[in-house]
Structure 1
Amino acid sequence: MDRPDQIRLTGLEVTARHGVYAEEKVTPQLFVIDLCCSLRPRPDTDDLATTVDYSELAQRVARVAGEGSLDLIETLAERVAQTCLAEDLVAAVEVTVHKPQAPLPVPVADVAVSITRRKPA
């Protein structure tokens, strides 16, 4: 079986107020989002209307990721996944949300959560 076509966005940066600690709800911090959308088959044509417009998708993901204040990056990853799955041609998506400035008691380069979601068959 052939592997489906994919669209990847890596390193999408959003400044937001997500986290469980009170200071995270006040002070914005950087979140970095990577996603890989597996696409449903499409016609072999050079027409943007036959695929996912990754510019528009990036804008929608950034808007959803920057809204409100969530406690968990797992919830943020779920919101991003559902945004991607709202696209007709997206069959599945893998989302990784990085929180490189997470307030931890020991130094770490990054904290990340990855999820995979699929549309029902």
Structure 2
Amino acid sequence: MNGVPVPGRPGSPSGLLDTVVLTGITTKGYHGVFDHERRNGQPFAVDLVLHLDLQPAGTSDDLARTAHYGELAELVHGIIGGKPFDLIEALAETIASAVLAAFPVAAVDVTVHKPKAPIEVPFGDVAVTLRRSRA
């Protein structure tokens, strides 16, 4: 997260938006700069933080007034397993653009994990996180 503020509801005490968090969307993808990564694939996981006003959904109990996280998970799962990218930064950018286009959110934080990256020393995870918001 880059610390960019996300404007919230005018009446909210902090002026910040609410969040929906969806973590661990995982599937095999074919992203990477090496031939063996493109050929064999590897697991990728994505975490999302959606910034939106949840008051309309909370007061109406209406799914249509929030981001449907089942549909969100399917969208991201398809992108991870779809078109290959050299960089996980490009994968994260594509996911962020798709989420902003498909869901009523003001901003989204996307973290892409590449836990099996071809690194020759022991490591736990490689991840990139970006935040994108509506213009």
Alignment TM-score, normalising by the size of structure 1: 0.93
Q: Report deviation, 1:90.
A: 0.6
C-alpha deviation, 1:97, in angstroms: 0.3
Say whether the 8 Å CA contact 1:35–1:94 is kept in structure 2.
yes
CA change 1:111–1:88 in 2 (3 A) is closer
Q: Secondary structure at the match of 1:58?
A: helix
Give, in whole Å, the separation in 2 of the partners of 1:33 and 1:59.
12
The count of residues paired between Structure 1 and Structure 2 equals 120
Q: Following TM superposition, by how much is the alpha carbon of 1:88 offset from its aligned partner in structure 2, in angstroms?
A: 4.3
Once the 2 structures are TM-superposed, how far is the Cα of residue 41 of structure 1 from its aligned partner? 5.8
Percentage of identical aligned residues = 45
Give me the whole-angstrom Cα distance separating, in 2, the residues matched to 1:83 and 1:16.
Answer: 17
RMSD: 1.3
Match of 1:117, SS? strand
Q: Which runs of 4+ in 1 moved over 3 A?
A: none
Residues of 1 paired with 2:95 and 2:62: CA distance? 26
Match of 2:3 in 1: none
Q: In the TM superposition, what whole-angstrom CA distance separates every residue of 1:3-58 from its partner, at most 9, and x where no partner exists?
A: 31211110110211100001001001000100101014652210101111100011
**Partners of 2:122 and 2:106 in 1: CA distance:** 38
Match of 2:126 among 97, 106, 111: 111
- Structure 2: gaps of 5 or more residues: 1-13
2:90 matches 1:78: no
Instruction: Indicate whether 1:53 and 2:68 are aligned.
Output: yes
Question: Shift of the alpha carbon at 1:87?
Answer: 3.0
d(CA) in 2 for partners of 1:102 and 1:114?
16
> In the alignment, what sits opposite 1:12?
25
Does the Cα contact within 8 Å between 1:52 and 1:87 map onto a contact in 2? no
- Aligned partners of 2:54, 2:73: CA distance in 1, in Å? 21
